[in-house]
């Protein structure tokens, strides 16, 4: 039996999220895990989960704790980027363990990988995913079981295969799998965050108009190392976009301009039914089929 430590590096666990966290703890226990909550899990400061100092302390504590096997984030929101230059990455490097989250947590996933070489996991979170079902928690929830299944597959190092439903530009590509929430990736500009290896970039987002999606991709493409090392693009969901026709047109334009494989239709998403992506693992993309070794 493994123990999941739940931390809150971003938005506060308040309001409805308090109940969601309670449900998540019950659901995770139903799945056979023990659960340990960070001491500051219910702290709040404006839109943040308490002070940066307390978040850093608990993050360090959980990486060093011998009774915590996996660290899962409570939720996204905002706040992770405030921590990236205060983290002691040597503590993480000396105490490697799976670290899981998505959305705003992308900032931590990518910086931990960059600074330590440790694979991180773009996957489900406590409140956002395991805390959404009531009654007999999770065992009746197909979306939850889907997310749990692919989380476990990724954590156990199984070979992962995902097939998209659309190719904007076909062809083969190889590299590490790297990316996350597009807006959060872009927020790292100004840091040393681009991988040293060739990569296939994956991206998703929520509530962003097409012109901002265009601008964010362009901001990344203006970075020489990004453009040079990006060998393919995997597109997850871009939910609640303002104009789907414009988005389709833009992705075709992007694929044509870059002349690299671009595939879409992967369950990388803010929706509950999501796959887990092990950031930093080797992968291959060929005509819409993604294989992660």
Of residues 281 and 147, which shows the higher confidence score? Answer: 281
Average pLDDT, the chain: 95
- How much is the pLDDT for 144? 73
CA distances from 75 to 48, 80, 141, 239 (A): 11, 11, 20, 18
Let me know: does 201 contact 178? Beta carbons within 8 Å. Answer: yes
Output DSSP code: residue 45. B
> Sheet containing 277-279: which strands, arranged edge to edge?
34-37, 3-7, 70-73, 99-101, 120-122, 277-279
Q: Which fold has domain 3-155?
A: Rossmann fold (3.40.50)
Model confidence at 268, in pLDDT bands (50, 70, 90)?
very high
What pTM did the predictor assign? 0.96
Residue-wise pLDDT tens digits, 89-148: 999 999 999 999 999 999 999 999 999 999 999 999 999 999 976 544 445 567 678 899
**What is the tens place of the pLDDT at every residue in 12-60?**
999 999 999 999 999 999 889 999 999 999 999 999 999 999 999 999 9
Task: Kindly tell me if the per-residue pLDDT of 66 is higher than 90.
Answer: yes
Write the CB contacts of 152 (distance below 8 Å, at least 6 apart in sequence).
none
Q: How far apart are CA 21 and CA 17, in angstroms?
A: 6
What is the C-alpha separation between 77 and 89, in angstroms, rounded? Answer: 23
Tell whether the model's pLDDT for residue 276 goes beyond 50.
yes
Indicate where the chain has its CATH 3.50.30.60 domain(s).
Answer: 160-292
Task: Pick the closest to residue 205 from 192, 215, 191 (CA basis).
Answer: 215
> Where are the CATH 3.40.50.10740 domain residues in the chain?
3-155
- Separation between Cα atoms, residue 268 and residue 159, nearest integer Å: 17
* Per-residue confidence (pLDDT) for residue 132, from 0 to 100: 79
Q: What is the CATH number of domain 160-292?
A: 3.50.30.60
Tokens of 7: 């931390």
In the prediction, which pLDDT does 138 show? Answer: 47
- Cβ-contact 114, 195 below 8 angstroms: yes
Per-residue tokens: 265 = 């239709």
Segment 191-231, tens digit of pLDDT: 999 999 999 999 999 999 999 999 999 999 999 999 999 99
């Amino acid at each position: 039996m493994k123990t999941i430590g739940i931390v809150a590096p971003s938005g506060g666990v308040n309001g409805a999220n308090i109940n969601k966290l309670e449900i998540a703890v019950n659901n995770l226990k139903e799945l056979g895990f023990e659960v340990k909550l960070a001491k500051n899990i219910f702290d709040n400061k404006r839109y943040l989960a308490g002070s940066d100092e307390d978040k850093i302390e608990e993050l360090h504590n959980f990486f060093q704790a011998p009774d915590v096997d996996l660290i899962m984030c409570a939720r996204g929101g905002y706040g992770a980027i405030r921590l990236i230059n205060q983290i002691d990455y040597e503590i993480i490097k000396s105490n490697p363990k799976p670290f899981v989250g998505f959305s705003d947590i992308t900032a931590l996933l990518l910086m931990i990988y960059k600074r330590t070489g440790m694979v991180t996991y773009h996957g489900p979170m406590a409140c956002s995913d395991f805390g959404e079902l009531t009654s007999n928690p999770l065992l009746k929830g197909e979306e939850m079981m889907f997310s749990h299944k692919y989380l476990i597959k990724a954590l156990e190092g199984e070979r992962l295969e995902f097939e998209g439903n659309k190719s904007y530009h076909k062809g083969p590509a190889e590299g590490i799998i790297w990316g996350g929430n597009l807006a959060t990736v872009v927020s790292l500009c100004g840091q040393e965050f681009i991988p040293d290896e060739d990569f296939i970039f994956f991206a998703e987002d929520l509530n962003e108009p097409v012109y901002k999606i265009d601008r964010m991709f362009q901001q990344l493409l203006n970075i020489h190392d990004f453009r040079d090392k990006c060998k393919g693009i995997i597109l997850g969901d871009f939910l609640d976009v303002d104009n789907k026709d414009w988005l389709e047109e833009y992705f075709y334009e992007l694929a044509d301009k870059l002349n690299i494989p671009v595939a879409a239709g992967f369950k990388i998403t803010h929706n509950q039914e999501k796959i887990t992506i092990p950031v930093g693992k080797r992968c291959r993309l060929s005509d819409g089929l993604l294989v992660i070794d």
